């Protein structure tokens, strides 16, 4: 009896499986563990809608900012710059500037330009509007997933549902306070804008209506801390799309603030604006609330700024996460909310574990009773297969759902089925009078193609389920895929190696013990 490479690989797989699955089975504090899904540990299920029309309105404002900045950069003189009813309107004061303005607009994609003399009207094309709507939903899915990941939540499910809905499932949410915080984090627009204060009319803001402010190209915004009104220019200087990072810090009074930094384009715009407007105020606006409006003392280079708004540490942390993960192009709103209680998950775990253990014990007893020692070898492979599934899931931080447990049970059945096919082929060859060595080798060779075909077709089905499924369906597909690959290793390679190691010990006179069949009288000699 000597080791071979198949047995060595099998032993290594067993050690790997047992070592990495222990933290999940014993629920230790250290080590990678399997995360239980929403249906097993309870949590929050939400179906969100997306206000895609707001994304188009935001795009129009960004377009207006870009046109204004480009015109100022080219030193073009314009008047009556407004955003009205989904259009950007302005008038050139010098006809000689028209070629330069036309060149600026020609570089911008997805717009339609109408000219009447020196008056320009810029709108988005219908194709561009549809593209913005589609992108707003995709961006919302990515942004929400990024926020939940950065928040430290394990395996949240965020997926597009239908044409314009988003499914969000967050396991492990147990209290109303946790639920409220998650909902606020998801729904926070995190729309950062730097806007100029209208210094000429700011003193009259308390006596001004929104309609009056609009006539001057301004909007009235409230302060985040004291409800004070601010009159700011409607067209922002720049927005959060140029933000590259946001981190919580503490000011000289040990109050939490958020330091942010801009990309090169944002830094250039920020530096140019502050350089030209020394002595004036700049409003830092987050989700249409003015958090601060400091006076510009000098040109601010480097593209960094600060938001200070009387945050608690927890609020500052959440706002920084929202800013880092990007602003939502369009607001999301709740269409359906459902809390799954942990007691339901506990009942599911208990019922599933009973099914898994009962089925496993029944299979083990049957294999030993029907196949003798070859059944014991198959059972050893089966046990290693289970440990491998748990270990790989823990290693990659996969989520175990109720369908995932069904996938494990199904995989157990498939792993046993592979050894049943192999053992039956070996039995047939022994009945034909082949030697034990030939029966084992040809038995594996004959069974391999049938097992491989079945596993590959099942694996393809699992890949399709993963590609097109959502939530628990993906969990089922992942579990089944891991189980199939693990069973190929244990049920084929592992058991084959064990037989090669033991074949010198197999007695033709005791085939009933080794293979569960009567001794063959006309066998070939080994």
pLDDT in tens, 389-417: 989 888 877 777 777 777 887 887 788 88
pLDDT in tens, 354-388: 877 888 888 889 889 998 899 999 999 989 998 99
pLDDT in tens, 458-472: 889 888 888 877 666
Could you give the C-alpha distances from 179 to 184, 185, 190, in angstroms and in order? 9, 10, 19
CA distance 526 to 42: 60
The model's pTM: 0.57
CA distance 317 to 247: 8
Highest mean pLDDT among 50-54, 127-131, 395-399: 127-131
User: Which residues, 6+ apart, have CB-to-CB distance to 251 below 8 Å?
Assistant: 257, 306, 308
Exposed / middle / buried, residue 350 (Cβ in 10 Å: 0-12, 13-18, 19+):
exposed
Q: Which two tokens stand for residue 240?
A: 């959060």
80 vs 14: which has the higher pLDDT: 14
Please say if the pLDDT value at position 195 is more than 80: yes
CA distance 160 to 332: 13
Side-chain-facing half-sphere of 59: CA atoms under 13 Å: 24
Please say if the pLDDT value at position 1 is more than 70: no
What pLDDT, on the 0 to 100 scale, is given for residue 121? 92
Please say if the pLDDT value at position 12 is more than 90: yes
Least confident of 8-17, 299-308, 389-398: 299-308
Side-chain-facing half-sphere of 274: CA atoms under 13 Å: 23
């Amino acid at each position: 009896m000597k080791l071979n490479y198949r047995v060595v690989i099998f032993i290594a797989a067993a050690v790997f499986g047992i070592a990495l699955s222990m933290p999940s089975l014993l629920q230790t504090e250290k080590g990678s563990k399997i995360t239980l899904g929403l249906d097993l540990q309870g949590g929050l299920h939400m179906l969100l809608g997306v206000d895609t029309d707001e994304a188009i309105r935001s795009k129009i404002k960004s377009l207006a900012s870009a046109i204004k900045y480009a015109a100022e950069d080219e030193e073009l003189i314009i008047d009556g710059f407004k955003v009205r009813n989904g259009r950007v309107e302005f008038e050139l004061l010098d006809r000689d500037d028209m070629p330069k303005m036309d060149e600026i607009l020609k570089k911008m994609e997805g717009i339609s330009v109408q000219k009447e003399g020196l008056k320009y009207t810029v709108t988005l094309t219908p194709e561009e509007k549809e593209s913005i709507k589609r992108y707003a939903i995709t961006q919302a899915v990515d942004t929400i997933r990024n926020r939940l990941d950065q928040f430290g939540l394990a395996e949240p499910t965020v997926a597009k549902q239908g044409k314009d809905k988003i499914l969000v499932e967050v396991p492990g949410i147990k209290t109303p306070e946790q639920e409220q915080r998650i909902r606020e984090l998801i729904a926070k627009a995190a729309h950062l804008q730097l806007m100029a204060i209208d210094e000429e009319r700011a003193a009259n803001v308390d006596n001004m209506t929104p309609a009056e402010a609009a006539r001057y190209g301004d909007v009235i915004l409230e302060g985040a801390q004291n409800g004070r009104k601010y009159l700011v220019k409607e067209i922002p200087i720049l927005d959060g799309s140029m933000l590259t990072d946001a981190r919580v810090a503490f000011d000289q009074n040990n109050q939490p603030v958020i330091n942010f930094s801009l990309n090169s384009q944002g830094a250039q715009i920020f530096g140019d604006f502050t350089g030209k407007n020394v002595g004036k105020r700049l409003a830092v606006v987050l989700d249409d609330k003015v958090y601060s409006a400091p006076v510009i003392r000098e040109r601010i280079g480097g593209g960094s700024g600060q938001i200070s708004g009387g945050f608690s540490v927890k609020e500052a942390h959440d706002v920084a996460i929202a800013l880092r993960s990007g602003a939502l192009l369009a607001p999301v709103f709740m269409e359906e909310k459902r809390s799954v209680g942990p007691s339901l998950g506990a009942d599911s775990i208990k019922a599933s574990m009973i099914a898994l253990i009962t089925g496993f014990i029944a299979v083990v007893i049957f294999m030993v009773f029907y196949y003798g020692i070859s059944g014991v070898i198959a059972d050893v492979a089966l046990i290693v297969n289970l440990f491998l599934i748990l270990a790989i899931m823990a290693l990659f931080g996969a989520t175990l759902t109720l369908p995932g447990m069904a996938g494990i049970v199904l995989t157990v059945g498939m792993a046993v089925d592979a050894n049943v096919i192999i053992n039956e082929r070996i039995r047939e060859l022994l009945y034909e009078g082949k030697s034990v060595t030939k029966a084992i080798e040809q038995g594996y060779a004959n069974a391999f193609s049938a097992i491989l075909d079945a596993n590959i077709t099942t694996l393809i089905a699992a890949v399709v389920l993963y590609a097109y499924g959502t939530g628990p369906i993906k969990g089922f597909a992942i579990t089944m895929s891991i189980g199939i690959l693990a069973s190929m290793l244990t049920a084929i390679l592992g058991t084959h190696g064990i037989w090669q190691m033991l074949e010198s010990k197999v007695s033709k006179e005791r085939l009933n013990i080794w293979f569960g069949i009567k001794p063959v009288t006309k066998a070939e000699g080994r």
